[in-house]
């Protein structure tokens, strides 16, 4: 009898410990799946931040702080910003933070490789068209030619001082730059890094056409990112499954105006000074580097279908989805297993490029 009682007590104790362990595992799982979401307005767009896990709110705080700080740093019309200081330095060197140096360096790489399809010094022309203050205006050819003469991205000097970790930038005294074509990609990348540093392992952020993920979904599955319908900003034509990745889309539907029945959009071709007319409706870039993805989405849109595909073949390092004006979707071959045409894209034919 004494042996039986001891055995029963042991069984009860084992059962209690098992139940406690199951409860603890259940609570841990609930913690890992806990979803925290926040909306932030910055860089002229509403940004949605989502983090999972017990550190989610802390991650959102960190990400929001990074985004707002970059917004202040990169606003060319804000007199206290770094970019304003660069544009008004009258040819003198300006000390810039590392994140600005990275954007410049990445943009310069794409500028060189694309033959100038991405040019951050096109800002005077962007202002001329009214895409900064929304006072839209179609410039004269003389005005366009005058602003094109101010392009100077190839004359920018970026100097690194490794011993101090600082950088300096020198811009010709007649030039002005803007980071509009790269800022959101860099902000998303830095925001994800900030989340990671405070312990977040699963997150996704959307910054107005720029999607950046951290890890995979809490259940271990891949993220499903929608590819926007160029003709209906509230709909989507396809989805793509990704792990930790930047997915950046550029298209003329983002900012535009109509004058005398003609649509003018904000993606200007630095070669002509006019909105790009490359026969593309949108370009989506998938890349590990959010800053690079943002640069490439603009440059590939300006280059157009043929030159964009040649760029991809020559330099690689990213995947791409092109939507054309004649209802075709062209994907690079690395997306064969992850791209899915959805109901909203039923009118499009899909092909894969090697």
Superfamily for the 77-170 domain: ApbE-like superfamily (1.10.3980.10)
**222-353: which CATH topology?**
T-fold (3.10.520)
* Confidence at 234, pLDDT banded by 50, 70, 90: confident
**Most distant CA atoms of the chain, gap in Å:** 106
Give CATH 1.10.3980.10 domain extents, the chain: 77-170
pTM of this prediction exceeds 0.75? yes
Residue from 334, 335, 269, 281 nearest 305 by CA:
281
Q: Is the pLDDT of residue 27 over 50?
A: no
d(C-alpha 166, C-alpha 28), whole Å = 42
Q: Is the dihedral of CA 81, 150, 276, 103 positive or negative?
A: negative
Q: What's the pLDDT tens digit per position in 150-204?
A: 999 999 999 998 878 889 999 999 999 999 999 999 999 999 999 999 999 999 9
Q: What's the pLDDT tens digit per position in 102-135?
A: 999 999 999 999 999 999 999 999 999 999 999 9
Give CATH 3.10.520.10 domain extents, the chain: 222-353
């Amino acid at each position: 009898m004494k042996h039986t009682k001891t055995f029963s007590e042991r069984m009860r104790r084992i059962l209690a410990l098992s139940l406690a362990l199951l409860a603890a595992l259940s609570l841990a799982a609930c913690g890992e799946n806990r979803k925290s979401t926040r909306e932030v307005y910055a860089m002229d767009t509403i940004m949605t931040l989502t983090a999972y896990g017990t550190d989610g709110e802390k991650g959102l705080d960190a990400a929001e702080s990074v985004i707002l700080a970059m917004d202040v740093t990169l606003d060319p019309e804000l007199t206290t910003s770094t970019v304003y200081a660069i544009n008004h330095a009258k040819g003198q060197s300006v000390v810039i933070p590392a994140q600005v140096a990275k954007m410049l360096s990445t943009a310069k790489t794409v500028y060189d490789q694309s033959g100038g399809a991405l040019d951050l010094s096109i800002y005077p022309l962007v202002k001329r068209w009214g895409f900064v203050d929304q006072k839209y205006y179609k410039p004269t050819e003389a005005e366009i030619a005058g602003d094109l003469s101010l392009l100077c991205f190839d004359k920018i000097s970026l100097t690194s001082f490794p011993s101090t970790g600082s950088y300096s930038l020198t811009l010709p005294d007649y030039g002005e730059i803007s980071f509009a074509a790269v800022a959101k990609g860099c902000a998303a990348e830095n925001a994800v890094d900030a989340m990671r540093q405070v312990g977040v392992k699963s997150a996704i952020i959307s910054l107005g056409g720029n999607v950046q993920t951290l890890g995979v979904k809490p259940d271990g599955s891949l993220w499903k990112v929608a590819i926007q319908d160029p003709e209906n900003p509230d709909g989507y034509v396809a989805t793509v499954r990704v792990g930790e990745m930047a997915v950046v889309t550029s298209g003329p539907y983002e900012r535009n105006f109509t004058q005398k029945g003609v649509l003018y959009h904000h993606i200007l071709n630095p070669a002509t000074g006019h909105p790009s007319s490359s026969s593309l409706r949108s370009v989506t870039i998938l890349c590990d580097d959010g800053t690079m993805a943002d640069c490439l989405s603009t440059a590939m849109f300006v280059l157009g279908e043929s030159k964009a595909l040649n760029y991809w073949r020559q330099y690689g390092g990213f995947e791409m989805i092109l939507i054309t004006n004649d209802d075709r979707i062209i994907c690079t071959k690395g997306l064969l297993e992850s791209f899915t045409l959805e109901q909203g894209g039923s009118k499009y034919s899909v092909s894969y490029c090697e």
